[in-house]
Chains A and B, each alone.
Chain A
Amino acid sequence: MKYMMFVCTDTEPETELAAPDIDTWVAENDANGRRALGSQLASPSAATTVRVRGGELLLTDGPFAETKEVIVGFDILECADLDEAIEVARAHPMSWAGRVELRPFHDE
């Protein structure tokens, strides 16, 4: 089962406890096959939003939604079920310093 893990910032991060290490997380989940692909993303200010309306190309400078929380990275997880994906996500430093969203791929 594939899950898209959106890695986002959050206005109320965990500050009391030390978050896990990202390099360890990547190394572990690459090794056990639960991370198929992933990357950090450039800042939303580098985004370009594309629409076609009435056949005409419309480009907007910036992300499609202006929000306080922004997507800063993604990982594609390959897990047996949601519980396993949650275990992977909770060990990612950004679930401490931000928030992550687990979205299952549409029925394969």
Chain B
Amino acid sequence: MSEPIFREAYGRIVATLIRLTGDWTLAEDCAMDAVEAALQRWPRDGEPANPGGWLMTVARNRAVDQLRRAAVAERRLRELAPLEQPRPEPEGDDRLRLIFTCCHPALAMESRVALTLRTVAGVPTAQIARLFLVGEPAMAKRLTRAKAKIAQARIPYRVPSGPALTERLPGVLAVLYLLFTNGYDSSPERADEAIWLVRLLAQLMPDEPEVTALLALCLLQHSRRAARRDEGGELVTLDAQDRSRWDHAGIAEAVGLLAGRPVTGPYAVQAHIAAGHAIATDFAATDWPTIAAWYDQLARIHPSPVVEVNRAVAHGYAHGPAAGLGLLATVREAVAGYAPALAAEADLTARAGDPAAAAGLFRRAAELAGSDAERRALRKRAAAAGQLALGDAE
């Protein structure tokens, strides 16, 4: 389903048929049938004037057929009523109801991600299984179980309102952001999928600043995809990336999304930090004092040891390595064993003029690194710092 028309229509059809029938599997099957019918007929008869409407009608008729057959068999004709004489359409987009239902906190996190990909974005089960490193039957089972729970526990098909929306929206954003961070380094397609979903949510909820902010954040992180690794597949740190290879259209869109919008939550703050890096023409031109101030705000509204490490790095560039090391010292226990914290301490120590100690810290960071690419990059830095220390000694 690579054609944008099908992808767009699929989620819309599934969302509407679930509202009308309450049957998730029927909705998915009929949406798929409609797409297949289009692939057969459009090349022969030409594309209809309203492709989305055509697909919806075909899917809806298919659902009526299937339900009628089942109803005749089981003498339950009155269940057909909502499909044959649809009640007045409720306000708002059904896809928003679908997203909030898929991301309901009563479902396990992995089920939320999988169900969102399957039903809203129409990603095939086999592809979702690969994302989670499980077999297709296991993923199919998980999806079936999640749909059964929605039906049995009666998870409502609606967008919460008022205080409930404030409580639930961060959970929805967390699912979409997890989907993005999960994909953005290993598979650009997955990251594209996540951005497509966040963009959809931003269109459906234009008055929620955190949704728009998440879109900006994803676009900004994704803008560096072509520069993040060198020809050999090795990680390239921000200071060494070829900024001409950044996606400047994506950066411009993100900066435009942030301009003039209120900062109401952690995604907006993170997006402003990412934008601070993205608009610097080179590493030396980075406005570190502004970025450090954003990190101060992030530490206030969303405190975590990882945020403190990044905040220490920013302060180290903005106000000197001693300032960074001072901040790092306050969270040393909480981040023991976390490679990026040791790497940050190593970098600050090197810039404070102690390459020998820095080399030791880089080596320890390398031992703790989460990936081989990260380990190789840290060993290289350890060696460089070691060389510098030897030069000092001579």
Contacts and interface: CB of A to CB of B under 8 A. Distances in A.
B157 to A, nearest CB: 9
A1 interface: yes
A104 to B, nearest CB: 5
Contacts of B152: 104, 106-107
A90 to B, nearest CB: 11
Contacts of A1: 154
Contacts of A80: 154, 156
B interface, over-half SS: loop
B106 A81 contact: no
Contacts of A107: 152
A82 B154 CA distance: 6
A81 B152 CA distance: 10
B160 A83 contact: yes
B329 interface: no
Contacts of B155: 81-83
Most buried by A among B104, B106, B154, B160: B154
A41 interface: no
B266 to A, nearest CB: 23
Contacts, number: 23
Interface string B140-165: 00000000000011111000100010
A60 to B, nearest CB: 31
Most buried by B among A1, A83, A106, A107: A83
A85 to B, nearest CB: 8
Contact of A104 (B104, B154, B156, B164): B154
Given A82-B106, A86-B106, A104 B160 contact: no
Interface string B186-215: 000000000000000000000000000000
Interface residues of A, number: 10
Interface in A1-23: 1
Nearest to A105: B152
A104 B106 contact: no
Nearest to A84: B156
A26 interface: no
Nearest to B156: A81
Contacts of A102: 153
Contacts of A106: 152
A82 B151 CA distance: 10
Interface in A49-107: 80-83, 86, 102, 104, 106-107
A83 B156 contact: yes
B164 A82 contact: no
A82 B152 CA distance: 10
23 contacts: A1-B154, A80-B154, A80-B156, A81-B154, A81-B155, A81-B156, A82-B104, A82-B106, A82-B153, A82-B154, A82-B155, A82-B156, A83-B155, A83-B156, A83-B160, A83-B164, A86-B106, A102-B153, A104-B152, A104-B153, A104-B154, A106-B152, A107-B152
Interface of A: 1, 80-83, 86, 102, 104, 106-107
Interface of B: 104, 106, 152-156, 160, 164
What are the 7 closest A-B residue pairs judged by CB atoms, nearest first?
A: A81-B156, A81-B154, A104-B153, A82-B153, A1-B154, A82-B155, A83-B156
Given A80-B154, A82-B104, A83-B156, 19 more contacts: A1-B154, A80-B156, A81-B155, A81-B156, A82-B106, A82-B153, A82-B154, A82-B155, A82-B156, A83-B155, A83-B160, A83-B164, A86-B106, A102-B153, A104-B152, A104-B153, A104-B154, A106-B152, A107-B152
